[in-house]
Amino acid sequence: MCSLPNYALNSDVGDLQQRIQDSGVHGAVEYACRSWYKHLVVTKHQSLDLLLSALHVLLEEKFTFWLEVLSVLGAVGEAVPALTTTIQWLNQISSDSGSLLDTIKDCLRFVTEFFEVISQSAPHIYHSALQFTPQSSIVQKLYFQQTFSLKARVVTGVPVSWDSCTASIGESGKARPRIAWSPCSKYIAATREGKVEVWDSTTLERLSIIKGLRDMPVGLGLPTFSPNGQLLACITL
C-alpha cells in the first residue's frame, strides 16, 4: 500500500500524504474503508445473500489490504467498532453464519493483539503481525502466504493458539498506576507519575493524557467515572 519501504514506520515516511493521494486512498475509497459497516447494519435483509458473500470476500481475501488503508490513514482504531458492530449484526440477522462469525472474531482478535504494530506501520502487518499470529488462527491460515516473499521470517517460537491475555499496559516508574473502568467498559482511566491517562479498553490505544500534575505536593487518588461515563474525576491524596 502506497509503496512504503519495508520495515518503515508510517511516521518515518516524509511524503506519506502524497503517497496516499497518488495511490487513490482518499475520497470514495477512504469513505468505504471507514464507513462500510455503518451501511451494512441498515441494509434491508432482502440483500442478505449478497452482503454475506461480500463479507466473505472482505474477511477472507481483502482483510490485510483494509488494515493497510486504515494504518496509513491513522484510523486503525476504527477497525474495532467495525468488526464488533458486524459481529452483533450477524448474530441478529442469521443463525447460519457460524464460519463467518468465527472468521470475523479471529480478525478482531488479530487487530486487538497487534493494534500498536498495525497502527505504527502498514508494512509490519506482514513483517511482524502475521509472522507472530498463532498457528491455529484463521487469519494466519488465510493470509500467512503473504509473508512467503519476505527476506526475514520467523521459523520458531510462533504460538499455537491465542493467549488468554488480549493486551497489557506496561508499567513505568516506581508507583503502580491506580486504575478505573468506565461504566460502559469501553475505557480505562489510570493515574500514575503525576498524570491521568485514558485508554481504549479493547485496543489499549491511549486516547487522552492530562499532564502537569507531577509537581503537586500530594499524590493522585483513584480516578472515577460518572455514572453515564461522560465525566472523569480524580482526587488528590
Q: What local confidence, expressed as pLDDT, does residue 5 receive?
A: 84
Q: Which amino acid is at 34?
A: R
| Domain, as residue range, for 215 | 178-236
Give Cβ neighbours of residue 217 (< 8 Å, ≥ 6 apart).
Answer: none
Neighbours of 213 (CB within 10 A): 15
Would residue 99 count as lying in a domain?
yes
Q: Are residues 18 and 111 in the same domain?
A: yes
Q: What local confidence, expressed as pLDDT, does residue 217 receive?
A: 45
Would residue 165 count as lying in a domain?
no
Would residue 171 count as lying in a domain?
no
Q: How many domains does the chain have?
A: 2
Residue range 67-102, pLDDT digits in tens: 999 999 999 989 999 999 999 999 888 766 778 999
Query: Which of 17-26, 85-94, 133-142, 179-188: highest mean pLDDT?
Result: 133-142
Residue range 102-111, pLDDT digits in tens: 999 999 999 9
Q: Are residues 206 and 135 in the same domain?
A: no
Rounded to whole angstroms, the Cα distance separating 114 from 220 reads 31
Q: What is the mean pLDDT of residues 1-25?
A: 86
pLDDT over 70 (residue 145): yes
Q: Are residues 213 and 123 in the same domain?
A: no
**pTM of the predicted protein model:** 0.79
**For residue 168, is it left (φ>0), alpha (ψ between -120 and 50) or beta?**
beta
Q: What is the mean pLDDT of residues 153-167?
A: 82
Q: Which pairs from 111-116 meet CB under 8 Å and 24+ separation? A: 111/67, 111/76, 111/79, 111/80, 111/83, 111/203, 112/80, 112/166, 112/167, 112/202, 112/203, 113/162, 113/166, 113/167, 115/76, 115/77, 115/167, 115/203, 115/204, 115/205, 116/204, 116/205
Q: Are residues 183 and 143 in the same domain?
A: no
HEC readout, 111-126: HHHCHHHHHHCCCHHH
Alpha-carbon dihedral sign for residues 1, 137, 120, 7: negative
∠ CA 224-184-75, rounded to 5°? 105
Residue range 121-136, pLDDT digits in tens: 999 999 999 999 999 9
Tell how far CA 203 is from the center of its chain: 5
CA-CA-CA-CA dihedral for 128, 131, 132, 135, to nearest 10: 160
Rounded to whole angstroms, the Cα distance separating 90 from 78 reads 19
Q: Are residues 207 and 117 in the same domain?
A: no
Q: What percent of the chain has pLDDT over 90?
A: 41
Q: What is the mean pLDDT of residues 198-207?
A: 82
Q: Are residues 24 and 138 in the same domain?
A: yes
